[in-house]
Chain A
């Protein structure tokens, strides 16, 4: 049972780290005070950390590249926020309304994940990635042309042209206005809610990974044919990871939008999907703690760079770092080099270097 505690210890350190960071920020805010810029970033950071963790479940744990995760964030954001506006009178208590709205966002995103997963998970590799990209763009397109209104008679929908506004009865309101998105959102997201979402996400992912289902997901990632040969229904478990990830992304989308006053569909485009992928890759695929750190740091970074007027180079730097990280972690020559360097520090480098060693030349 020593092994179990070792694995659990790492997980509990992650939980502890998140809680400690929350307490430190709260104490700092109470005594010294945070700048309003940083304060405005706290909820987005939590949302992006959740997104990164959710995508890491698909990319790192399940081993499939999704280039359309912003689409699930979008589904959660629009359905969750519309629900919050619709429930404004029914649930006066803001935190409860936020929780219900996020749950609704997660449910819709999970449904989208399931429907998209049916075709997507039949493909593999590059084709799977490109199809998720396609679905992300389609979702964006749908929300850009969708009009939803609510009045005493219930919901009204229209697509491409706004026929909803004219049909709305007295006291009705337009919830989603096509390319104008949702406006007049009551800001009900809070840093505390964000941290709770991050912790909940961590619990779900860690517990999933260390269970029967999680092992099946990772087995399918490592070797699909072998997994099937021992009776693991690969499609089912890939779907499980995909839908869980989509639901978490949807909740993150709801949290994010309810910290803004307006939101439009173009906010959740391909660039957002890639940004989240950058968080995951830089934090280390499959490494949850790494995702948390890289998502927080890289969300803060542009604001810090803006101070020094370096903001225009931000995406350029991301791109370069992304390439370098991939090349260094995957090149056999560089891996050997890194191993030799770190090995020297660890003082337990194997005496016999592979293939004769470099020193003999």
Chain B
């Protein structure tokens, strides 16, 4: 499958400078994600248009913008919940055209959801084990007959799940039902589940929503820790500016489905167009 996809992108590739500032340590490597002329229409409505972006191998990037700007739609395009109308997505140089959600995840993109989507009736540990679905594999027959492959697989899955849960100190919650966890823990569990799929790019949709300032600070440390431990790139949507400005190296601002600014936190803070998008136009006196 992957080979077939790899051979065909030439028709859709357009040489466009992504104009992104990739962090210096990643500059000499190819970007993990490149979007070119990405866009989608719903009926006659253009939700996202001309979305160009590149993310470095170990970059923490931010996607910000007012409500309804199309941020989550970008995530849905990247993970193929929607198929793009236009444009190309290159994941580590591989065109994800004609892939579905499952294949994109196997290729290396994992995500969390704005409205939490856990497997509510499963235990915390089993949620992570579902994330390990393609990492620790054995067949249905092995499982039903409890052959050695089952015992080996289950032991590895258990150890890996506990290890991943320990990132957020959640080992003690392993037996709890995921749906009964407090809100913050559910958001953290979603991140752990996404990490379990061994991604090279982690998409976080409003990870700090509903958290208090001290929880947010802890989350910031953890996101950096995840990047440093797993050597992966992170793209996050967030409204909490302290988090975005605190940890993102590159920021992309979206308004009405189009990119209005790109740059480092410092540049974005002072960009007049961004200020206008968030606060409205300054009235002429």
Does A187 count as interface, using CB distance less than 8 angstroms?
no
Does B168 count as interface, using CB distance less than 8 angstroms?
no
Contact B102 A232 (CB under 8 A): yes
Contact B197 A231 (CB under 8 A): yes
Contact A226 B136 (CB under 8 A): no
Of residues 213 to 236 in A, which have CB atoms within 8 Å of B's CB atoms?
A: 213-216, 218-219, 221-223, 225-234
| Chain B proximity of A202: nearest CB distance (Å) | 12
Most buried by A among B106, B140, B142: B140
What sequence of 0s and 1s flags, for each residue 174-203 of chain B, a beta carbon within 8 Å of any chain A beta carbon? 110000000000000000011011000000
Contact B119 A223 (CB under 8 A): yes
Q: Contacts A226-B117, A227-B119, A232-B102; is A240 near B140 (CB within 8 Å)?
A: yes
| Chain B proximity of A302: nearest CB distance (Å) | 34
* Chain B hits for A223, CB < 8 A: 117-120
| Chain A proximity of B207: nearest CB distance (Å) | 15
| Chain B proximity of A262: nearest CB distance (Å) | 35
Does A208 count as interface, using CB distance less than 8 angstroms?
yes
Task: Name the residue of chain A whose CB is nearest to the CB of B123.
Answer: A3
Contact B81 A225 (CB under 8 A): yes
Q: Contacts A222-B121, A230-B131; is A212 near B111 (CB within 8 Å)?
A: no
Q: Contacts A207-B143, A218-B122, A240-B140; is A229 near B133 (CB within 8 Å)?
A: no
Task: Name the residue of chain A whose CB is nearest to the CB of B137.
Answer: A212
Contact A230 B175 (CB under 8 A): no
Does A211 count as interface, using CB distance less than 8 angstroms?
yes
| Chain B proximity of A12: nearest CB distance (Å) | 13
Does A204 count as interface, using CB distance less than 8 angstroms?
yes
Contact A218 B121 (CB under 8 A): yes
* Chain B hits for A218, CB < 8 A: 119, 121-122, 126
CA of A214 to CA of B102, assembled, Å: 18
* Contact among A207, A212, A230, A233 for B196, CB-based, below 8 A: A230
Does B105 count as interface, using CB distance less than 8 angstroms?
yes
CA of A213 to CA of B140, assembled, Å: 6
Contact A230 B194 (CB under 8 A): yes
CA of A234 to CA of B102, assembled, Å: 9
Contact A228 B137 (CB under 8 A): no
Of residues 77 to 131 in B, which have CB atoms within 8 Å of A's CB atoms?
A: 79, 81, 100-102, 105-106, 110-111, 113, 117-122, 125-127, 129-131
Q: Contacts A229-B101, A231-B102; is A212 near B81 (CB within 8 Å)?
A: no
Task: Name the residue of chain B whose CB is nearest to the CB of A63.
Answer: B121
Contact A216 B130 (CB under 8 A): yes
Does B4 count as interface, using CB distance less than 8 angstroms?
no
Q: Contacts A219-B122, A219-B130, A222-B119; is A228 near B101 (CB within 8 Å)?
A: yes
Does B138 count as interface, using CB distance less than 8 angstroms?
yes
Does B134 count as interface, using CB distance less than 8 angstroms?
yes
Does B145 count as interface, using CB distance less than 8 angstroms?
yes
Task: Name the residue of chain A whose CB is nearest to the CB of B153.
Answer: A212
| Chain B proximity of A348: nearest CB distance (Å) | 15
Q: Contacts A207-B143, A228-B101; is A212 near B119 (CB within 8 Å)?
A: no
CA of A240 to CA of B154, assembled, Å: 20
CA of A222 to CA of B150, assembled, Å: 24
* Chain A hits for B79, CB < 8 A: 229
Q: Contacts A3-B174, A215-B130, A216-B133; is A233 near B119 (CB within 8 Å)?
A: no
Does B282 count as interface, using CB distance less than 8 angstroms?
no
* Contact among B81, B120, B136, B175 for A222, CB-based, below 8 A: B120
CA of A233 to CA of B127, assembled, Å: 16
| Chain B proximity of A278: nearest CB distance (Å) | 23
Does B144 count as interface, using CB distance less than 8 angstroms?
yes
* Chain B hits for A212, CB < 8 A: 129, 133, 136-138, 140, 143, 153, 157
| Chain B proximity of A222: nearest CB distance (Å) | 4
| Chain B proximity of A220: nearest CB distance (Å) | 9
Contact B118 A229 (CB under 8 A): no
Does B146 count as interface, using CB distance less than 8 angstroms?
yes
Most buried by A among B110, B122, B133: B133
Q: Contacts A225-B81, A230-B193; is A215 near B129 (CB within 8 Å)?
A: yes
Task: Name the residue of chain A whose CB is nearest to the CB of B105.
Answer: A231
Task: Name the residue of chain A whose CB is nearest to the CB of B141.
Answer: A213
* Chain A hits for B175, CB < 8 A: 3
CA of A231 to CA of B137, assembled, Å: 12
| Chain A proximity of B46: nearest CB distance (Å) | 23
Task: Name the residue of chain A whose CB is nearest to the CB of B178.
Answer: A222
* Contact among A225, A227, A230, A233 for B110, CB-based, below 8 A: A230
CA of A219 to CA of B157, assembled, Å: 16
* Contact among A204, A208, A222, A231 for B133, CB-based, below 8 A: A231
4 cross-chain pairs, A with B, having the tightest CB-CB distances, nearest first: A211-B143, A226-B117, A231-B105, A222-B119
Q: What are 9 residue pairs bridging A and B, where the CB atoms are less than 8 Å apart in the complex?
A: A215-B126, A219-B122, A222-B122, A223-B119, A229-B105, A229-B111, A230-B131, A231-B106, A233-B102
**Chain A residues with a Cβ under 8 A of chain B:** 3, 203-204, 207-208, 210-216, 218-219, 221-223, 225-234, 240
Sample of 4 more A-B contacts, CB < 8 Å, known A212-B138, A230-B133 = A222-B122, A223-B120, A225-B113, A230-B130
